[in-house]
Structure 1
Amino acid sequence: MYIYFVDEPEQFYWFVEHFLSVKFRVPKHLKDKNIHNFTPCLNRSWVSEFLKEYEEPFVNPVMKFLDKEQRLFFTYNFGDVEPQGKYTYFPVKEFHKYCILPPLIKTNIKDGESGEFLKYQLNKEEYKVFLSSVGSQMTAIKNLYSTVEDEQRKQLLKVIIENESTNDISVQCPTYNIKLHYTKECANSNNILKCIDEFLRKTCEKKTESKHPSADLCEHLQFLFESLKNPYLDNFKKFMTNSDFTLIKPQSVWNVPIFDIYKPKNYLDSVQNLDTECFKKLNSKNLIFLSFHDDIPNNPYYNVELQEIVKLSTYTYSIFDKLYNFFFVFKKSGAPISPVSVKELSHNITDFSFKEDNSEIQCQNVRKSLDLEVDVETMKGIAAEKLCKIIEKFILTKDDASKPEKSDIHRGFRILCILISTHVEAYNIVRQLLNMESMISLTRYTSLYIHKFFKSVTLLKGNFLYKNNKAIRYSRACSKASLHVPSVLYRRNIYIPETFLSLYLGLSNLVSSNPSSPFFEYAIIEFLVTYYNKGSEKFVLYFISIISVLYINEYYYEQLSCFYPKEFELIKSRMIHPNIVDRILKGIDNLMKSTRYDKMRTMYLDFESSDIFSREKVFTALYNFDSFIKTNEQLKKKNLEEISEIPVQLETSNDGIGYRKQDVLYETDKPQTMDEASYEETVDEDAHHVNEKQHSAHFLDAIAEKDILEEKTKDQDLEIELYKYMGPLKEQSKSTSAASTSDELAGSEGPSTESTSTGNQGEDKTTDNTYKEMEELEEAEGTSNLKKGLEFYKSSLKLDQLDKEKPKKKKSKRKKKRDSSSDRILLEESKTFTSENEL
């Protein structure tokens, strides 16, 4: 049904208007015109408004470029056949009053057997006899009757002749559609009638070798003129050799619009019965016929300016594309995947209708899992705890069969991390929409809690992760992966509740398409292609995040529809129907398996599991997390770890098109060695007292013996190093109250308050001398400028200020808690200060 665009830019615009445009629709709750008047917007669409900015018709060079780019594709699919655009139809019936095609005799005489009206279609030989007759149409029919040899046909003519006086009998000319690529053929002529004349000359000159659908018109005309004899045959020869001799004439005064341009729905209308090769057709009121008499009238109706189309080169060669192509030369990666062409889309997409599905969910197949009563703050803490359990399981598993060759992270771990982060993020959105949550959670993404939790090793204390180098790698991987969830789930450059609170609007904005669009799957793939071509890990993380967001839409739609019907009706429009999600996921999976994108799938499977393509496995992971929430009462009461309030910058004006700020940060950060990680991430001596008995057996295989022996020395060195930024660690004040120890995990044992303070007195004297020397050194150095990625920070804090904030060794519960804002800033900066001082 669709078009192949070759020198047919008008059809390209038609395609954009009907298939790429998303019409403006007013939501039900905003339809009150007294409050919001959207009348000026109703006839507009996103894409067409964008295209109006480009005026210069510059399509042909782009089309030729696409032809060259897709040479192998077309050779494989079409062989030597050059794909063509759809045709413009010009219906014609008569030459003067003679039918161009053999006519049809129609009557109102009913057939006794079938009950239908009798009709008689002449063949060429019969039509030749009909044309040679002199007199009226009935005389010609009687003359024809005397020459017909076929008895059955002769009997039919006899019945018609016998009933001529009592019934209506007419001779009708069949319609012949002259088909031509209007934009291509009429590029040099504004006059429609002259253009058709010139087209007929060219077609009839090479009719023996032409494969054009309208080439047989020449044969029909040749037959007609030979039957009518002179002067028509001579006039036709003059027409073929003289461009001033015209044949196509208007039969009536034309009306506006000149053409009827069909919409996609017209092709599906069985009443219209349109030929799928037809793009537009001469208006049914604008009739033409063939005649050698007179000239073409001088009338502006017959002169049509070709429609100006967008200058695609302006869009194709934008500033970003130029910069991207420039920097890509320096990347030593495999051959990039080229952008998909319109022609390839037209070949691969068979259904251009928008996805719609309002069917009811079969709740008997849905397992109740969601509990809306848990507050978001608790959910965040439980999610972090669940991910710690997952990391613990991976670390203590000795079977490395599931590890990919190119990564030291188990397959499936990033999927679980992103999936749980997406689940929690969507849970926050749902509770916000239902007015069950405080609006303050809108100001910080819940998945950023997971990002910061696993990024800061001090927050892993109590989960044994900070003692294990392998666990550190997993926590960093989860921290990096979870940061992509808000990038996909939110529209981050606009903070409006109507657009912010949705389970799919952010994804739609990210890939510049709508889930209901037939091109949504291609939009997602083409977005991922940009990161694949850069050879970035972000391709894998964005892919998992996008698929997770689609699954989460399905999950919450089913849970709310089946078990929370009242709440479901309130937020039904903010989710994608599960059947549409399944179609999208299936489409993405098929595209990834295609020859064009197979390299992307291979790269993904080099690092991650194929479980993301399995709905059953994804939903099992979601159900397991929900079960973990319900069966852990202790976790429900767990307080959130205090994390830094320094914001993670997510704002960007281009929403995923091009480089994001965090992309640059990730790709400029150098990976740390594990020696550096163990040095920077190891903390104070509490490590040896927290769950030591519980975990010692597990760690025996996970940590080398020499690392265990040297750990105390490393902790002491690190304590001295971090003193000037953080003050003494919490060991000195830990024993101040029984309330403070209740925050540690169950099973941890520490020394008594008395023994702690006594045992540390001698050690503190030596440490204080060292602190003094370091303070003097820092005061001499002054302020410090540090650079990380593209962000610059300047610290004006003096060491004497930090020294004043150093906690005293009193047993006051209040004194134990230092100034949290200073600690948060210094904690984020400590790593960079350390590495800079070492230089």
Structure 2
Amino acid sequence: SFLDFVDEPEQFYWFVEHFLSVKFRVPKHLKDKNIHNFTPCLNRSWVSEFLKEYEEPFVNPVMKFLDKEQRLFFTYNFGDVEPQEEYKVFLSSVGSQMTAIKNLYSTVEDEQRKQLLKVIIENESTNDISVQCPTYNIKLHYTKECANSNNILKCIDEFLRKTCEKKTESKHPSADLCEHLQFLFESLKNPYLDNFKKFMTNSDFTLIKPQSVWNVPIFDIYKPKNYLDSVQNLDTECFKKLNSKNLIFLSFHDDIPNNPYYNVELQEIVKLSTYTYSIFDKLYNFFFVFKKSGAPISPVSVKELSHNITDFSFKEDNSEIQCQNVRKSLDLEVDVETMKGIAAEKLCKIIEKFILTKDDAGKPEKSDIHRGFRILCILISTHVEAYNIVRQLLNMESMISLTRYTSLYIHKFFKSVTLLKGNFLYKNNKAIRYSRACSKASLHVPSVLYRRNIYIPETFLSLYLGLSNLVSSNPSSPFFEYAIIEFLVTYYNKGSEKFVLYFISIISVLYINEYYYEQLSCFYPKEFELIKSRMIHPNIVDRILKGIDNLMKSTRYDKMRTMYLDFESSDIFSREKVFTALYNFDSFIKTNEQLKKKNLEEISEIPVQLETSNDGIGYRKQDVLYETDKPQTMDEASYEETVDEDAHHVNEKQHSAHFLDAIAEKDILEEKTKDQDLEIELYKYMGPLKEQSKSTSAASTSDELSGSEGPSTESTSTGNQGEDKTTDNTYKEMEELEEAEGTSNLKKGLEFYKSSLKLDQLDKEKPKKKKSKRKKKRDSSSDRNIIRRI
């Protein structure tokens, strides 16, 4: 009996319908009902292996002959052997395969092959086609004959037996079913046939049918004798309810398939770990449906690239910038410390503006953040980050101003609620969401702008080298746009927010290259010649941006653009709007009130996660140690580089004057001694000290830390009265000392500061005084040891 093998008719029905059967479809050129009437076949299914193939143009003999000639021709490596003229004609034909055969038919001389071609051509559109209509629909049995039976397995078993017996007695149309079943038996090979024998002879060998994936994964196990049990009442609707998402599996094996929808193994005693694992799988698959936006995008193929890219030449453009169309906006005289503080202030005002806006029309459905905010946050962070790089390249900034420190400041500033005290953000719960969104977004800027895992001045001081490393391509390459898109595809397929943030960061870096190239070329020609090769030409940037925009609009990547626009504004595609935002920020920087009043926040106490899984987003441990161990406050760090009035270079005089204007009068004493403070701090970056000097240097550093924290708390009233006198006296002593010893030299860039004034000389010149209530006295012996090490 057939049921002795399958054991369950529903499984056989599913097996035939979803694995062997196809729905009947009428070929397009046979749909004329006046010629062929396929109405009786439309509601039936057939097994593809039993179809009588209708006649098609049979081109195999010709193709085999042509292929033989081709192989023969290339075997001799393009020697004196020429291919047959017929093959030349076939290859030179333009159009489809049938067009080539018709062209060959008109020129071939061999009568035998000419007749073969004629038959192929004449049968191309003939209606003389025989189609065998499916004659049996297995679903009818258990929905009609056996619907009221107590044991559906036994009922269908009897029906099949009687039907097949009639085959020899009459030509009943249903007899074809027996042929189908016979084909299944004959087609079964190892391991199915062996497992069938095991199933029949070993009662421990069971057939397993998992239930729907949306339910608890319990498996129904059937043994060979189950179908004889009249108590068994199987649900006839079980398989009809399942669809492609609710997978079921027909197994003739004694194990459960290795599939995330099923349990790994069956156990008599349920283990908690296994239960938890299965629940995790269900939740993962459940939320995965909501997290993803459609099917994943497959990687682009070489064939598609060669078809879509028409120009494989490298991008080159050395044309001059039309400066009459460029608005002067960049000011290179602002130090980085001040600029990044102003950036945080500007972002606070942007958040305040969004929070006070009552219109919610700008908020996308899938986010509670206004459209365009992440763009402004990343754009300003990229601007300040690139500004630091440009200052480094022009030797206008000391190496103490660490490059990645810029984005890290913005990230940490908006991440902590305590740092937002005194700002509008601290008083509004909605603003906290904006600040954290900006904190997360700014972290992606250094990941795009710098070469990851490589932190050497020669490798990261560029406005595009990091982007090239990120996508493994060069801006001048014809594949650069595809390289960027394929990088973004990996994050789109994950359905993560990183796709949006990476996309904005990459586009912002490209715009920043264009911005600085234009500004430096038109208004800083000398500086421009020094760093011209570190930026991308604006015309090349425009070509890249246009190429990315066109790719995002294409059918293949349109889903990526749709997903982006669900969260963010389309302003990122507008050059005018992006540059307007940059110009507005530059105007904000140039206000004198901001330059004088802006003080950086102290953020050294906030921990930073060094080991991140954000694909290179992170910072060197040296950078973080510099922040967390830094003895000065952020206010003092703003003026780290101070140059005396009598410095040799005019730029340094202007820079020194700028700092004197920016600081308060009570801080002049600290500024005058900043060169000695800097020397003390540099020993941490110049290598470890010897064992005998570690203790003394540690004591000196701890004194400096405690001295820089501010006035002592012993006596507030008396300290305030004597503070001004102490400051005036010491300031006069510093002026006399400068006149006697001369000015100091400060070499910026890759060279460290070297002072002509020694701390021991300062101690000799200064009269012995009691410890100031505002600042503790340093240990001169430890200072001398530190200077010698430097």
What SS class does the counterpart of residue 436 from structure 1 fall into?
coil
Q: Give the Å deviation of 1:492.
A: 2.2
- Mapped partners of 1:398, 1:337: distance in 2: 38
- Mapped partners of 1:810, 1:639: distance in 2: 32
Aligned-residue CA RMSD (Å): 24.9
Distance 1:190 1:416, change over 3 A: farther
- Mapped partners of 1:21, 1:137: distance in 2: 31
Deviates more, 1:296-305 or 1:439-448: 296-305
Deviates more, 1:551-560 or 1:629-638: 629-638
What SS class does the counterpart of residue 478 from structure 1 fall into?
helix
CA contact (8 A) 1:469 1:677 kept: no
CA contact (8 A) 1:557 1:577 kept: yes
Distance 1:448 1:769, change over 3 A: same
Q: In the alignment, which residue of structure 2 is the partner of 1:526?
A: 486
Q: Give the Å deviation of 1:559.
A: 0.3
Query: Residues 341-356 of structure 1: matches in 2 within 5 Å?
Result: 341-356=301-316
CA contact (8 A) 1:652 1:660 kept: no
- Mapped partners of 2:779, 2:14: distance in 1: 64
Which structure 1 residue ranges, 5 or more long, are not aligned? 85-124, 828-836
Distance 1:223 1:500, change over 3 A: same
- Mapped partners of 1:59, 1:169: distance in 2: 17
- 1:666 corresponds, among 626, 637, 643, to 626
- 2:383 corresponds, among 404, 423, 446, to 423
Q: In the alignment, which residue of structure 1 is the partner of 2:461?
A: 501
Distance 1:427 1:327, change over 3 A: same
Distance 1:738 1:410, change over 3 A: farther
Distance 1:780 1:569, change over 3 A: closer
CA contact (8 A) 2:24 2:44 kept: yes
- Mapped partners of 1:653, 1:35: distance in 2: 66
Q: In the alignment, which residue of structure 2 is the partner of 1:708?
A: 668
- Mapped partners of 2:533, 2:28: distance in 1: 10
Deviation string for 1:338-387 (max 9, x for gaps)? 11111111111111111111111000000000000000000011101111
CA contact (8 A) 1:488 1:510 kept: yes
- Mapped partners of 2:283, 2:62: distance in 1: 20
CA contact (8 A) 1:225 1:232 kept: no
CA contact (8 A) 1:383 1:420 kept: yes
Deviation string for 1:381-418 (max 9, x for gaps)? 11011111111111111111111111111110110000
Q: In the alignment, which residue of structure 2 is the partner of 1:54?
A: 54
Deviates more, 1:789-798 or 1:39-48: 39-48
CA contact (8 A) 1:451 1:483 kept: yes
Q: Give the Å deviation of 1:727.
A: 35
Deviation string for 1:645-686 (max 9, x for gaps)? 667456789966999999999999999999999999999999
CA contact (8 A) 1:205 1:240 kept: no
Q: Normalising by structure 2, report the TM-score.
A: 0.45
Q: Give the Å deviation of 1:564.
A: 0.4
Q: Give the Å deviation of 1:644.
A: 2.1
Q: Normalising by structure 1, report the TM-score.
A: 0.42
- Mapped partners of 1:219, 1:812: distance in 2: 108
Q: In the alignment, which residue of structure 2 is the partner of 1:66?
A: 66
Q: Give the Å deviation of 1:764.
A: 32
Distance 1:408 1:280, change over 3 A: closer
Q: Judging by fraction of residues, say which structure has more strand.
A: 1
Distance 1:797 1:583, change over 3 A: same
- Mapped partners of 2:767, 2:31: distance in 1: 61
Q: Give the Å deviation of 1:590.
A: 0.6
- 2:225 corresponds, among 265, 270, 277, to 265
Distance 1:671 1:787, change over 3 A: farther
Q: Give the Å deviation of 1:72.
A: 34
CA contact (8 A) 1:378 1:637 kept: no
Q: Give the Å deviation of 1:639.
A: 2.3
Distance 1:334 1:72, change over 3 A: farther
- Mapped partners of 1:30, 1:581: distance in 2: 55
Distance 1:267 1:157, change over 3 A: farther
What SS class does the counterpart of residue 692 from structure 1 fall into?
helix
Q: Give the Å deviation of 1:496.
A: 1.7
Q: Give the Å deviation of 1:509.
A: 0.4
Q: Give the Å deviation of 1:223.
A: 53
Distance 1:233 1:582, change over 3 A: same
- Mapped partners of 2:124, 2:24: distance in 1: 59
CA contact (8 A) 1:369 1:559 kept: yes
CA contact (8 A) 1:258 1:286 kept: no
Deviation string for 1:484-527 (max 9, x for gaps)? 10010001211221111000000100011111111111111111
Distance 1:795 1:581, change over 3 A: closer
Which structure 2 residue ranges, 5 or more long, are not aligned? none
Deviates more, 1:609-618 or 1:169-178: 169-178
CA contact (8 A) 2:395 2:749 kept: no
What SS class does the counterpart of residue 261 from structure 1 fall into?
strand
Distance 1:369 1:463, change over 3 A: same
Deviates more, 1:251-260 or 1:731-740: 251-260
CA contact (8 A) 1:339 1:526 kept: yes
What SS class does the counterpart of residue 325 from structure 1 fall into?
helix
Q: Give the Å deviation of 1:530.
A: 1.0
Deviation string for 1:753-790 (max 9, x for gaps)? 99999999999999999999999999999999999999
Deviates more, 1:59-68 or 1:595-604: 59-68
- Mapped partners of 1:562, 1:613: distance in 2: 25
Q: Give the Å deviation of 1:642.
A: 1.2
Deviation string for 1:627-647 (max 9, x for gaps)? 011124343442211112667
Distance 1:336 1:477, change over 3 A: same
Deviation string for 1:416-452 (max 9, x for gaps)? 0000000000000000000000101236431111101
Deviates more, 1:209-218 or 1:363-372: 209-218
CA contact (8 A) 2:142 2:236 kept: no
Deviates more, 1:589-598 or 1:805-814: 805-814
CA contact (8 A) 1:379 1:424 kept: yes
- Mapped partners of 1:182, 1:567: distance in 2: 86
CA contact (8 A) 1:370 1:559 kept: yes
Distance 1:129 1:486, change over 3 A: closer
Distance 1:642 1:691, change over 3 A: farther
Deviates more, 1:518-527 or 1:629-638: 629-638
CA contact (8 A) 2:385 2:403 kept: no
Distance 1:641 1:314, change over 3 A: same
What SS class does the counterpart of residue 691 from structure 1 fall into?
helix
Deviates more, 1:194-203 or 1:443-452: 194-203
Deviation string for 1:228-277 (max 9, x for gaps)? 99999999999999999999999999999999999999999999999999
- Mapped partners of 2:34, 2:456: distance in 1: 21
Distance 1:808 1:195, change over 3 A: farther
Deviates more, 1:162-171 or 1:750-759: 162-171
Distance 1:198 1:410, change over 3 A: same
Deviates more, 1:240-249 or 1:371-380: 240-249
What SS class does the counterpart of residue 249 from structure 1 fall into?
strand
Distance 1:442 1:380, change over 3 A: same
Deviates more, 1:697-706 or 1:354-363: 697-706
CA contact (8 A) 1:252 1:286 kept: yes
What SS class does the counterpart of residue 360 from structure 1 fall into?
coil
The size of the alignment, in residue pairs, is 789
Deviation string for 1:3-45 (max 9, x for gaps)? 9999999999999999999999999999999999999999999
- Mapped partners of 2:296, 2:631: distance in 1: 25
Distance 1:467 1:514, change over 3 A: same
Distance 1:331 1:810, change over 3 A: farther
1:127 and 2:78 equivalent? no
1:771 and 2:714 equivalent? no
- Mapped partners of 1:824, 1:211: distance in 2: 114
Q: In the alignment, which residue of structure 2 is the partner of 1:838?
A: 789
- Mapped partners of 1:573, 1:272: distance in 2: 81
CA contact (8 A) 2:551 2:557 kept: yes
- Mapped partners of 1:31, 1:436: distance in 2: 79
Deviation string for 1:697-756 (max 9, x for gaps)? 999999999999999999999999999999999999999999999999999999999999
- Mapped partners of 1:185, 1:780: distance in 2: 117
CA contact (8 A) 2:517 2:538 kept: yes
- Mapped partners of 2:271, 2:302: distance in 1: 15
- 1:221 corresponds, among 181, 201, 206, to 181
- Mapped partners of 2:580, 2:262: distance in 1: 67
Taking only the aligned residue pairs, the percentage that are identical comes to: 99
